[in-house]
Amino acid sequence: MSDKDIKSSYEESAKRMSGGTETLGSKVKDTNDPNEHNDLHEKIKVNYNNSPDFSSMEEVHKWQREHVKKEQGKNGYPLNVIIDPAMREMYKVVHDAGLTNVFDRFSQQQPIQCKFCIEGLSCQLCANGPCRINEKVPRGTCGVDAHTMVARNFMYRHVTIGTSANIFHCHQAARTLKAAGEHPESGLKIRDAEKLKKYADMAGLDANKPIEKLAIEFADWVMDDIHSPYHIPSKTVEAFAPTKRKELWRQLGLFPGGGYSEVAYAQTRCMTNFTSDPVEFLLNSVRLGIANEYQGLFLLDIIQEILMGTQEIAKKKQNMGLLKENMINVVTNGHMPLLAHVAIDLASTDEWQQKAKAAGAEGIQILGHVCEGQQLINYEGTHNQKGYGGQEGEWLSQEYLLATGVIDLFMFDYNCTVATMPIFAKRFGTKLLSTHPVIKLQGTETLDFVPEKMKEQAEKALDKALEAFKQRKSENRKVYIPPYVSECTVGFSTESVKKALGGSFKPLIEQIANGNIRGIATIVGCTTARYDQGGSNIFKITQGLIKNNIIVLSGGCTSSVMEYTGLTNPKAADECGEGLKAVCKSLGIPPVLSYGACVDIGKMTHTAKEIADELNVDTNKLPLVIGAPEYLEQKAVADACTAVALGWLVHVAPVPSITGSDVVVKTLTETTETLGLGKVVVEMDAEKTVQIYVDHIEKKRKELGLN
């Protein structure tokens, strides 16, 4: 068959499948390949002449508090939901220039979004599909009913991907720890040797060995457990999970084996004509949630702190006003700051600062973005260095960040780098660099992930930044930096909070017992571009919680929202109920304690475990709620399954794609709790959400005899 015949065969086949004479794909001409956009500078005219919306951060915070009292629906979108002052200004610049951007794309998608997919009633797993279910067509071609389809989609499309992503992250961190022990020339350091000894000892290793050898053995122990078969009980879960929970998990058949094998087993169950029991899929999701925590979140947090230094309570700064026109600005984006922290080490040396000055700059600074930035701002080994510039913002802001024109290098790894970045980079002169082959963008260089060569790779990244700055200055490009900077107190973790309390959680427990603090809410995860959200939903819920004397722990892009709204500033104590206000003022802390990134949920569960141990109760007895008021992607769903496994109420918004099955909804919102597990709550309204949290915390206080 000739090439011409092959093409003709494809066209005819496409016609038979779709029923049309032309495929949808053939009509779409736009692309993210920067090589297809040679005329961007001529075509896209940018106007930076607008004056700032606000004259001070005090004015910003006053406006934010008045603004969110109003309806945040469709009218006035997206400026009615964007409450970050820097993002508001840069959205207008980008939108007026006609550039694609996340909020405008959300609006464009609304007329064509599919209700079947929204409810989980669409399946594309086999060639008989896609199948969709409604009251007239109650089964897919293979015979599955709505309950099986929804539950299978939930586990396959969300939980397995989210779990594998977090375990993959932990595996990369363990690789890096091993390289730190084997290759001192790599630029890697073991900054918290005592933490390594502590957790190696808990793992059953000899903590008295030389620290480099111990790093290698602990890393191998972690990776071996991740790679073990699903039918062999996980050593990491055995070593680090709460005792009472482990007993329950064994009784329910939820105690996991090796993480990668667990994901493979779960995905195998999702094949066409395999498992059809919807409850089995949901319980399997909880089992994955346990692997997600102990072979993913918890251990990657521990390992990264060993490498970068344990979190330290400190006053730091956030937002786009930290950028400097005459500095070389490097932004590191993603979730895995393993190369970034070595680059900060280098950028902090006199050698690299002099290289920057030789290039015509005042110096070089590396700023964090999304969760990677939230980790860097918290680690004592990174945030106190000369080359560190501060935290930028949440994932929604990255296109607008490049539109300032002053980002010389945008280096990124492992998720939350949007596909349009090559277009923005070409238009605004930014160099892009992927620092891990797991993420590749069109027309963008990708480094292999080689921990043993991190110093060499970091040098290559900084050289690119120098060259980009020279080009920016030689072209005399127009730039604009929104002038907003938030002062925030960050660096909270199990260790740093305990240290601030004098070495024990007893003072915190006393404040909970006497009612000054009614309970704890963790507000974690992402921000979304949806109506009523965009950060505003997170802000409204948090305001309501602290007014009800509930202290909040944040992690993920929610931490950025807390920072740019002033809730991580100790001054926010004045917005609390009287009991929490008194506690915050006496300790000099804000009512929102930023634990950092979404992956730092692992640290929050550790804090909860230690509080439960101090009270001698199981984790499900704590006056605690987990909230993801603007969840976005698969890792958040896996994290919700972790919370259910630990026995907690977990609130999720927007509503996940489970509403197509009343069996699935009932199982996740009611049945799991009867088994000693947690349960899921879905609610979009902020005021109703706050009341749900308050009621649950008061119920748990009553069960503990604290009322």
**CA dist., res. 248 & res. 454, Å (int):** 43
- CA atoms in the 13 A half-sphere facing the CB of 542: 34
* Region of residue 177 (left: phi > 0; alpha: psi -120 to 50; beta: else): alpha
HEC profile of 465-532: HHHHHHHHHHHCCCCCCCCCCEEEEECCCHHHHHHHCCCCCHHHHHHHHCCCCCEEEEEEECCCCCCC
Instruction: State pLDDT tens for residues 178-188.
Output: 999 999 999 99
Give me the pLDDT at residue 380, please. 84
The torsion angles phi and psi of 649, rounded to 5 degrees, stand at: -75, 125
DSSP SS3 for 53: coil
Tokens of 145: 């009913």
Rounded mean pLDDT, 253-264: 98
Instruction: State pLDDT tens for residues 670-695.
Output: 999 999 999 999 999 999 999 999 99
Distances (CA, A) of 33 to 30, 38, 397, 422, 424: 9, 10, 21, 7, 11
Instruction: State pLDDT tens for residues 478-517.
Output: 999 999 999 999 999 999 999 999 999 999 999 999 999 9
Give me the pLDDT at residue 73, please. 83
Of 40-54, 205-219, 378-392, give the lowest mean pLDDT range.
40-54
Whole-model pTM above 0.85?
yes
The identity of residue 31, as a single letter, is T
DSSP state letter for 284: H
Q: Quote the crossing angle between the two packed helices 634-645 and 278-292, to the nearest 10°.
A: 90
For the chain, give the mean pLDDT: 94
429 and 475 Cβ atoms separated by less than 8 Å: yes
Rounded mean pLDDT, 374-382: 91
Give me the pLDDT at residue 72, please. 82
For the chain, the farthest-separated pair of C-alpha atoms sits apart, in whole angstroms, at 82
145 and 664 Cβ atoms separated by less than 8 Å: no
Give me the pLDDT at residue 548, please. 98
Tell me whether residue 525 is exposed, middle or buried, using C-beta atoms within 10 angstroms of its C-beta: 0 to 12, 13 to 18, 19 or more: buried
Give me the pLDDT at residue 9, please. 66
> Regarding beta strands 486-490 and 314-318, do their DSSP bridges make them parallel or antiparallel, or are they unpaired?
antiparallel
Residue 605 pLDDT class (50, 70, 90 cuts)? very high
Please report, in angstroms and rounded to a whole number, the separation of the first and last CA atoms in the chain.
80
Give Cα 33 distance to the centre of its chain: 26
504 and 682 Cβ atoms separated by less than 8 Å: no
Tell me whether residue 3 is exposed, middle or buried, using C-beta atoms within 10 angstroms of its C-beta: 0 to 12, 13 to 18, 19 or more: exposed
Residue with tokens 């064509």: 112
The torsion angles phi and psi of 593, rounded to 5 degrees, stand at: -100, 110
**CA dist., res. 148 & res. 593, Å (int):** 40
Q: How crowded is residue 10: how many other Cβ atoms within 10 Å of its Cβ?
A: 11
Tokens of 164: 């594998």
Instruction: State pLDDT tens for residues 400-438.
Output: 999 999 999 999 998 899 999 999 999 999 999 999 999
Give me the pLDDT at residue 167, please. 98
Q: Quote the crossing angle between the two packed helices 536-547 and 557-564, to the nearest 10°.
A: 70
427 and 367 Cβ atoms separated by less than 8 Å: no
DSSP SS3 for 327: coil
Sequence-separated contacts (24+) of 407-410 with Cβ below 8 Å: 407/323, 407/329, 407/330, 407/331, 408/328, 408/329, 408/330, 408/465, 408/468, 408/469, 408/472, 409/328, 409/329, 409/330, 409/331, 409/433, 409/461, 409/462, 409/464, 409/465, 409/468, 410/330, 410/331, 410/333
Does the pLDDT at position 18 exceed 60?
no
**CA dist., res. 382 & res. 365, Å (int):** 12
Give me the pLDDT at residue 50, please. 77
What DSSP line would sit under 76-142, residue for residue? TTTTTTB--HHHHHHHHHHHHTT---HHHHHHHHGGG--HHHHTT-EE-SSTT--EE--SSS-B-TT
**CA dist., res. 677 & res. 643, Å (int):** 9
The identity of residue 285, as a single letter, is S
DSSP state letter for 168: H
Give me the pLDDT at residue 35, please. 83
Residue closest to 661 by CA, chosen among 109, 123, 267, 111? 123
Share of the chain above pLDDT 90, in %: 90
Of 27-31, 491-495, 549-553, 661-665, give the lowest mean pLDDT range.
27-31
Per the model's pLDDT, the better-predicted residue between 19 and 34 turns out to be 34
Does the pLDDT at position 471 exceed 90?
yes
614 and 259 Cβ atoms separated by less than 8 Å: no
